[in-house]
Chain A
């Protein structure tokens, strides 16, 4: 085991630990503002994970989109709804919560079992996931150029159609958001009784 790997794993564990704590904080913090703060932390940790995974462009995008954009949206949401009775709206102590936690635990165990046993089996025998360390050459190339240009090329060549569709989606989302959140008619009209005089 080389030193490089130990440092790498140290960083990984540190970030992952903070990430999980922050994610748990999002869900279980008693106040919504704390949740928001831990969400920002979580997003930044995710960006760190991306950096560890050689994805610098994605990491930067993560910081910009999640760490700033979505966070602002959330803050807006919190402020616009301005709930005073925040404490009351913490967790739902219901049967479904138990079910959810149980199921989530089960799922986690399942995935754990799968990745520790199944995937190695699969990868060795069927070669479904040819898991390998990236070659040194590629890493060096990436270290030299970064992923930005590669992603940019990919987006505008191979993935140009999804890219354009995505732009449409974003446009639709913007317009939709305005329409939905914009001031509607004050009184809703019941279509079944519209235009009828009461008998």
Chain B
């Protein structure tokens, strides 16, 4: 019987997470975990509902988003259109009321649609462990993923999001408009210099590889260029070459690869 543990402080939760090791699973919104968990299973579930992690705090230049903030809560509190668009395209309203920002970052394809937006925004993740807090860029977190999923770095407690310096776009390729699993989802942000050339770019994809990632090859294709058709097409082609998608009932690897290219191009076009 898995034990449901409902710690009352982050320290306690981080301690439980460390001491139970692989037997522990984090219960946030439950929309993913409870599908897979049976009352007869072994292990412990560590619930986040008493930790005060369900709040968004506005700070200078950005927001501190608790890991247990719901997707609809994020949409209400953080007025970044690309991020709001991402939350609207995950499940229906009930799922959005239940599923959490933190939980979605651990979701496996075809369900982790928030990550590209946060990658494009340069968000930072804060983990609590027995040794204290550790903050890391979200791309570093995903770089640590293996075939088995996320590294056990500690307990994700909040997500730091800064106000975007430039424009950010988010597009999801889905077979259905609402409540649809992803074919791929893509977010892009660019900063331009005085001449209109792209000085910095962040292009991120989900559903296109084993985990969400920033596509350096696509970014390089636009940095230094204007956002013209040739540069956007080059970025799309670079993304198509870089992804390693899977086949599932929603789409084949062949189709996902194609859409990675198309949607990187379209996400950039939305910024041009």
Q: Do A and B come from one complex?
A: no
Residue positions of A touching B, CB distance < 8 A = none
